[in-house]
Amino acid sequence: MEIKYEDIVKDLFELDVAVAQAYAMTEAQLGIKIDGITDFIMKFIYTENLNNRDVTITILSNTLMTNENTVRKKLNKLIEYKLVESCTCGCDKRLKKLVPTELGSKLILIFITRKLKTATDISLIFNKLFSKTLDKFYEEHDLTEYKSFKKNIKSEFIVSEILSTKNRYKNNLTKLA
């Protein structure tokens, strides 16, 4: 099998299109618009939490090179939807750190799982290299039920997955309905 750079580029763009389409359809169905900065903030908080690094409003403001009021406005939306929460830092009780909620973490895991499954569906190279290993991980982390964005492109299905996940964590939610 001959691998060409153009094939990799095509596969990555096709992946981007499938993910963007899923985002757009989900936003339209739920009526929630998540802009790029808010999306970045959620992913940044999740990633830093995985690496055991505290995230504060100041850190986000410096990372994004924007003022803290802009960051607060975006964070309030994530907190309102119970995707992020603010809690005290262990080192200084006056300082608040931001962490993903259980729901926020689960939704990110589902999103990444679906993105990986989409990449496996789109790219023969990716499929041959990773599919068996990824299938084991999906089973190990109880993520086998989530489908590729490519295979299940209907918005009703995407939204039903989000709502079923939300219902599993409904004790943590009040506004995302």
pLDDT digits (tens, 9 = 90+) for 54-74: 999 999 999 999 999 999 999
Residue 152 pLDDT exceeds 50: yes
Domains parsed from the chain with CATH numbers:
5-33+104-169 (no CATH), 36-101 (1.10.10.10)
Give the range among 9-13, 24-28, 44-48 with minimum mean pLDDT.
24-28
Q: How far apart are the first and last CA of the chain?
A: 48
Residue 21 pLDDT exceeds 80: yes
The reported pTM is 0.78
Element (DSSP H or E) covering residue 145: none
Q: Taking Cα atoms as reference points, which of 103, 102, 91, 83 lies closest to residue 34?
A: 83
**Rounded-to-integer distance, Cα 116 and Cα 75, Å:** 27
Structure tokens at 17: 């299109």
**Per-residue pLDDT, 161:** 59
Q: Which residue has better confidence, 173 or 48?
A: 48
Residue 84, SS3? strand
Mean pLDDT of 97-112: 92
Mean pLDDT of 44-54: 95
Residues 6+ apart with CB under 8 A from 87: 96, 97, 99
Mean pLDDT of 161-166: 61
**Rounded-to-integer distance, Cα 111 and Cα 57, Å:** 25
